[in-house]
Amino acid sequence: MTLLEKKVQIFKALAHPVRLGIVEKLAEGERCV
């Protein structure tokens, strides 16, 4: 798998609204997950 393909997979995962919300909360600081 190329670097570009890996990046595509990451962005596909982050495109899901629930996952994006989780990433935003984690960016605010430490959280229990």
What is the per-residue pLDDT across 9-19, written as a single tens digit (0 to 9) for each?
988 888 888 98
Helix/strand/coil for 23: helix
Is residue 5 scored above 90 in pLDDT? yes
Is residue 33 scored above 90 in pLDDT? no
Q: What percent of the chain has pLDDT over 70?
A: 97
Dihedral angle sign, alpha carbons of residues 15, 21, 27, 33:
negative
What is the pLDDT at residue 13?
Answer: 83
Query: What's the pTM?
Result: 0.53
Neighbours of 22 (CB within 10 A): 14
